[in-house]
Every structure is written in C-alpha cells, then in structure tokens.
Amino acid sequence: MDSATVIAAWWGAVVATLAFLWEIFQWFKSGPRIQVRAKANMEPVNLPGLEKNEKYIFVEVTNVGDRATTLTHFCACIFKDCIKRLVNKPEKNLVLLNNSGFGPPIPFFLDSGQRWTGGILQNQFDEKLISDGKVYASIFHTASSKPVLSKVT
C-alpha cells in the first residue's frame, strides 16, 4: 500500500471517531438542565402579601439547557449527615406550597433560558438545621425522575 493511502485512511478514521464522540457528548448535554439556588434569611421589602418581620427561604430555578420542562413539585429535604446526602437518603421530605407571593405557582412551564422564583417561610425549619447545612431545596421537573437539590445557605 502507498503511504499516502495509509495516512489518508488513518486521518479519516481519527476524524470519524472524533465526530462520533462529539455527537455522543452533544446527546448527553442536550435537554433541560436545571440550576437551583436557595438562600435563607431573606426579608421582603415592598412585596405585597408578605410579612415584613418574617424571614423567608428564597428559591431561584433556571433552565440553562436547550429544551423546556415543567416544574412539578417544590420540596425540601433534611439530611442527617453528608453520607446520607451522598446516597440521597433524607431524614425527612417535605412538600412545600409556593403560595407566599414570591412567584408563579407550580406547576410551571420553564422554557430554555427562563427562570422561576419561589419562597417559603423560614420559621418552618429549625435555625440550627439551616446553619449546619442540612436543609436542601429540591425541585422536581418532568424531564427527570430525580429532584434537583440545592443546599439552603
């Protein structure tokens, strides 16, 4: 065989393999990707319907993926320790109702690039649990059977 033919064959094999790997990477990366942030000790200023002297946990959900999803549940999980968090075995699961005036109710259609905000009264949780980092906000959506968790900070 001619050496130019061998080089061309190897070049084609390498380029085809890289293109195949790139398609696999794109397939795994496509779809809705949800980012959740939860902040404690938030006090409302000029928000109608919210108590001024109360503290709230504010939750922001952003879809940074390339497809839409629907937020179905707004929950909280309390983990006893970091090992339980790693194996996703919460001590307590709580379903939360977002009727505090922070944002639109759930279920909520979340398109690509869109964000949803919600919140709950903080007095439902022990201060020590929040300061120890044991409380997590969890958002369920239609594109996944597992929730997206965010530590309440």
pTM: 0.79
pLDDT (tens digit per residue) in 32-90: 999 999 999 888 887 777 777 888 889 999 999 999 999 999 999 999 888 888 898 89
| Dist CA 40 CA 76 (whole Å) | 13
pLDDT at res. 1 = 62
Please state, rounded to an integer, the average pLDDT across all residues of the chain: 88
49: CB partners within 8 A, 6+ apart: 100, 101
The domain segmentation of the chain, as residue ranges, is: 1-30, 31-151
**Count of alpha carbons within 13 Å of 85, Cβ hemisphere only?**
17
104 pLDDT band, cuts 50/70/90, is: confident
CATH node for 31-151: 2.60.40
pLDDT (tens digit per residue) in 114-130: 999 988 888 878 887 88
